[in-house]
Chain A
Amino acid sequence: MSEQIHLEPKGMVGQHIAMPEPTAWPIVLAFGCTMAVAGLLTSWGIGILGGVLIVAGCVGWFRDVLPHEKHEEVEVLDQPIIITSHRALVERIQVHPRHRAHLPVETYPVVSGIKGGIAGGIAMIIPALIYGWIAHHSIWYPVNLLGGAGVIHWRNPSTADIAAFHWQGLLVALAIHVITCLLVGMLYGAMLPMVPRHPIVLGGILAPLLWTGILHSSMGIINPALDERIAWGWFVISQVTFGITAGIVVSRQERVPTGQSLPFAVRLGIEAPGLMHSRPDVGPPRDGGKH
């Protein structure tokens, strides 16, 4: 199937190609440098020898390149190259039209997830602060519960400690809060279209309940201090607030096509025959000008 292509040195055989001429000066210079350094370790004499060699090497090298670089003419040999493969068969990937059809064909853009995360994140602060105020008369209490890791000198803080303001606690809590909200928000953006029915009920209420359950059972290992003090009722309220707000915000956004109709590999940037349609507009011309 494949035709043979010969890279003949067409008409070049016997002609000459200029290549840089072999020269000893680089090795002289390198040896000079070595001796100069070795002089430090052994004796001055060797160092001086090194210095002399360095000067000689530099001058010699200089004269190799200036005013004109020295070249040597190399004769072109007659070595024809045949580029061919006996594996002419190219297997094509068969992309069935209904491939992966269970993934959504349309989805919310990434920004919608981010927006949802921001809205949910702001909304869930309210129940958390209310809880802090009601239970401990301090809005800093929930903040420090989340960001206590940032207050480095804390060893077994008392309730009063936690209720006080700590800027490190605030910073760390903010960072954790912002990052998690954005990530979960984006997860919402990606997953809501996959939820078959009642996305708000499922994503807004059931999902927060589920992950609160997971946290409830694992918090003792992850963060025992938090586990001791956390009020799970209020925690659920915050989470559900987040879930519902984020869900509503996300589902209000425009949908965009996912590219699911394209094969997976193409979306990853793989180009291979059979995967995509060849582009008839790109011909074999010298497209060297295209950078």
Chain B
Amino acid sequence: MSTVPLFTDESWQMPSKGKVAMLSLIIGECGIFGIFLAAFIFYLGHNLSGPTPSILDVPVFNTVCLLSSSLTIWLAERAIEHGEIRKFGALWGLTILLGLEFITGTALEWYTLIYRDGLTISTNLFGTTFYSLVGLHATHVVVGLVGLTTIMIFTLLGKVRQEHAHRVQVFALYWHFVDAVWVVVFTVVYLVGR
């Protein structure tokens, strides 16, 4: 549905404004992530003291969970497009669970880093860049989870129908982005950085 009553005409079709807007937002987000990534890479090996990236454990399970949530949300998109609302609900719920697993995993990781290794944002350059970059991503996951949950609640209340498929897909684009960015963050922080 359009916000403003569009002049409708089948022979004159424009790209979906929701998708255009979401893609633009994603491009903008890339700018933000790019700067934080640049800072992380710039400071690799510049620590004057304290823990270095070698203390990190590679969060394989977390990553698998987050990436597979991209798959489940895609299946959910297809389900709602075909009007299979129950299937949609189930897959959507699964996506939320996977996202929750990821964010809990990150929380646990930070807990060990802070209390076992004594690494905080002010400890050294690694702490500064690590927490801000991974934290930036985690913030996006949390925002995504809030959105996912809102849609879930409405699904449970039976308010989500086939005609909302487009909006759901626009939102799902954001979630795909959050996952895709994780691939980059993961590579830089846990594979290259370590």
Contact = CB atoms under 8 A, between A and B. Distances in A.
Are chains A and B native binding partners rather than an unrelated pairing?
yes
Interface of A: 17-20, 65, 67, 69, 71, 288-289
Contacts of A20: 3-4
B54 interface: no
Interface string B1-43: 1011100010110000000000000000000000000000000
B4 A288 contact: no
Contact of A69 (B3, B9, B11, B159): B3
A69 B5 CA distance: 10
Contacts, number: 16
Contact of A288 (B3, B5, B12, B159): B12
Chain B at the A interface: SS class:
loop
- Across the A-B interface, the 6 shortest Cβ-Cβ residue pairs: A288-B12, A289-B11, A18-B5, A288-B11, A69-B3, A20-B3
A17 B4 CA distance: 10
B9 A288 contact: yes
A289 B12 contact: yes
16 contacts: A17-B5, A18-B5, A19-B4, A19-B5, A20-B3, A20-B4, A65-B3, A67-B159, A69-B1, A69-B3, A71-B5, A288-B9, A288-B11, A288-B12, A289-B11, A289-B12
Contacts of A18: 5
A75 B82 CA distance: 39
A288 B11 CA distance: 7
A71 B5 CA distance: 9
Nearest to A286: B11
Contacts of A19: 4-5
Contacts of B11: 288-289
A289 B10 CA distance: 9
A67 B159 CA distance: 8
A18 B1 CA distance: 14
Nearest to B167: A66
Given A20-B3, A65-B3, 14 more contacts: A17-B5, A18-B5, A19-B4, A19-B5, A20-B4, A67-B159, A69-B1, A69-B3, A71-B5, A288-B9, A288-B11, A288-B12, A289-B11, A289-B12
A264 B9 CA distance: 40
